[in-house]
Amino acid sequence: DTSRSFVSTGALPSRDEIRALVETAYARFRSERAGAVADYIPALAEADPDAFGICLANTRGDTFALGDAEQAFSIQSVSKPFAFALVCDALGAEEAALRLGVDATGLAFNSIMAVELRADRTTNPMVNSGAIATTSLVPGANAEERWQNVQQGLSRFAGRPLAFDERVYRSEAATNQRNAGVAHLLRGYQRLYCDPDEATDVYTRQCSLLVTARDLAVMGATLASGGVNPVTSEQVVAADTCRRVLAVMATAGLYERSGLWLYDVGLPGKSGVSGGIVTVSPGKGAVATYSPPLDAAGNSVRGQLVTRFLSERLGLNLF
Ligand code: DON
C-alpha cells in the first residue's frame, strides 16, 4: 500500500498512483446507496441516483476522471464560491466581507433565521442569503450584464463556455418563492445591492449553469493555483481572492456540516443539491464528485465518502 507513504513522507504520488487511487475509490463506493435525490426543485428529482463520477485535477493541468465525470448537471450551490470569487476580486476582500459577511451560520443553507440572528444581517456567500447578495454585487449595469458576467466568469474558471439548462432554470424559477423572500428581506436591511427580484433571477440562472465533474475539478484547481486556470493558463482572479474564497469554503462550504467536514477531511469544499462537490487542496489541486443522493443537509453522500477517502490516501488534510 504505497498511499501511506504520501502521508508520512510528504512524497508526491505519481500519475499512475493517482489514477489507481481514483479507481479504488470508484470501486469502493460504487454500490453505496444511502441518501435521497433533491426534489424541492422539480427538475432535480429526475436525476439518476446511480450516476457517479469522479475527477481529480492537479495544478499542472492533469485530470484523472472516472465514471460519469463527463455527465452534465446543473451546478447549483457549487457556483457560490466562484461567484463570490468574481465579486471579491472586483470589490476587494475587505469590502466584500463587510457587505456579505463571512461567518458560519450553523443553520440550513436556505435559513431565514440566519439573517435575523446576526446584528449586521449578513451571513456568508456559501448559503443562499449571502449568495443572492453576492450575485447582486456582480459587476454590471443591469441584470443582463450581471448574468453575462456570471456566465463568462464561471466559464473562465472551467476553461470552456458553460451552457445553461433552461429546464432547470424554469423549474426553479417557478418554485423559488423562498429565495425571493430572502432577497426582499435582505433588501429591507440594505444587505442586497440591486433589485431583489433581479438578484433572485440571476442567482437562479447561475445555479442552472451546466457543469461536469471534470469542469468542477478544473474550477477547483484554479482556486488551488492562485487563480490561474491550470488548463488554459488564464489568470481568472487574483491569488489573494483565492485565499479568501477558500477560507469561506472551509467555514461554510458544507452548510451546517462544515465543521464535521473540516474535522474529517481538513480541506475547503463546496457542495450543491444536484449532487456535486468540489474540494480544494491549496497548491496541489482539486477533487470533484458527482452523485445525486444527498444527506439531510443537502450534501452528496457518496461524494463525501469518496472525497474523504481520496484526501486521506493522498495525504491532503491541511492540518
Ligand atoms: O437556491 C437553491 O435552493 C438552489 N438553487 C441551490 C441550493 C444548493 O445547491 C444548496 N445545496 N446544498
Q: How many domains does the chain have?
A: 1
Q: What is the CATH number of the domain that holds 18?
A: 3.40.710.10
Rounded Cα distance between 123 and 137, Å, is 15
Q: State residue 42's pLDDT score.
A: 94
Per-residue pLDDT of the chain (319 residues; tens, 9 = 90+): 555 556 555 667 899 999 999 999 999 999 999 999 999 999 999 999 999 999 999 999 999 999 999 999 999 999 999 999 999 999 999 999 999 999 999 999 999 999 999 999 999 999 999 999 999 999 999 999 999 999 999 999 999 999 999 999 999 999 999 999 999 999 999 999 999 999 999 999 999 999 999 999 999 999 999 999 999 999 999 999 999 999 999 999 998 999 999 999 999 999 999 999 999 999 999 999 999 999 998 999 999 999 999 999 999 999 9
Q: Which of 79, 109, 299 to mutate to test the pocket of ligand 1 (most atoms within 8 A of CB)?
A: 109
Residue 255 annotated as binding? Answer: yes
What pLDDT is stored for residue 255 in this prediction? 87
Domain residue limits at 87: 3-314
Q: How far is the CA of 128 from the centre of ligand 1 (A)?
A: 7
Q: Is 271 in the pocket of ligand 1 (CB under 6 A)?
A: yes
**pLDDT on residue 10:** 62
73 ligand 1 Cβ < 6 A: no
CA of 172 to the centre of ligand 1 (A): 10
Compute the residue count for the chain.
319
Are the CB atoms for 37 and 45 separated by under 8 Å? yes
**Beta 285-290 vs 269-271: how paired, if at all?**
unpaired
Q: Is the CB of 298 under 6 A from ligand 1?
A: yes
Cα–Cα distance, 240 to 43 (Å, whole number) = 37
Residue 319 domain-assigned? no
Chain centroid to CA 267: how far?
Answer: 13
Q: What cell numbers appear for 95 in the block?
A: 469590502
Looking at residue 13, its pLDDT comes to 85
Predicted confidence at residue 12, as pLDDT, reads 72
201 CB near ligand 1 (under 6 Å): no
Q: What is the pTM of this model?
A: 0.96
Residue 18, all three cell numbers: 493517482
Q: Is 18 part of a structural domain of the chain?
A: yes
* Rama region for 249: left / alpha / beta (φ>0; ψ in -120 to 50; rest): alpha
Whose CA is closest to 57, among 269, 263, 219?
219
pLDDT digits (tens, 9 = 90+) for 119-142: 999 999 999 999 999 999 999 999
